[in-house]
Amino acid sequence: LKKTGIKETDFKTVAGDAQTKLNAVMNGQADLLLGYVMDQAIKLQDATQKPVYPIRFADYGVNLISSGIVANTDTLKSKPEMVKRFLRATTKALADAEKEPEAAVDAMLKANSKAGVRETLIIGLKQTTALYHTKETAKAPPLRVAMENVGESLNLLAEYGGLDPATKGKPEDWVTLQYLP
């Protein structure tokens, strides 16, 4: 909120699970919700047939690391080649989806015809791929993260998110790029 200039007194906060939040916005009981641009935003658009305007934290310079691939350290040690193959395939899939979102959505709908409405899935995917990069990783393939961004995330989590500052550690304690292609 500090970055947007909005004060907590400017709105009323209502808590609820994901479906409750969606219903509240759809029924006009709430004006906005916190969610992923590629999920709640497109579900609202499909359900209401009205334009939805996501406000991304990244638009205000808040680049929290929110999605990633988690691996057990034992697996990293015992099967490093498998991890590398998995990440090579994942990186290729994400890069291809970024280049050709329509083809990626068509492949998803072929595998699961109930995944959503094609047009809004494409919008959601484009909004998602826009978050693959920060200014520090603009020219890098997907799944790359700058340790500076990880450090910023850890600082924000320690300040606002309940992460104990004493156990925050350093970015390299949480993230490794050594298995990426």
Tell me the three state secondary structure of residue 63: coil
Question: Residues 38-83: pLDDT tens digits?
Answer: 788 888 888 888 888 888 787 887 778 878 899 999 999 999 999 9
Ranges assigned E (strand) in the chain: none
Who contacts 145 (Cβ-Cβ below 8 Å, separation ≥6)? 65, 68, 134, 137, 175, 177
pLDDT at 54: 80
Cut 0.85: pTM above it: no
For the chain, how big is the Rg over CA atoms in Å?
19
- Judge whether residue 123 has pLDDT over 80: yes
- Judge whether residue 157 has pLDDT over 80: yes
Share of the chain above pLDDT 70, in %: 100
Residues 43, 37: Cα–Cα separation, whole Å: 10
Who contacts 142 (Cβ-Cβ below 8 Å, separation ≥6)? 91, 94, 95, 98, 129, 132, 133
Residue 113: band (very low, low, confident or very high) from pLDDT cuts 50, 70, 90: very high
In contact, 102 and 120? CB cutoff 8 Å: no
Residues 76, 154: Cα–Cα separation, whole Å: 23
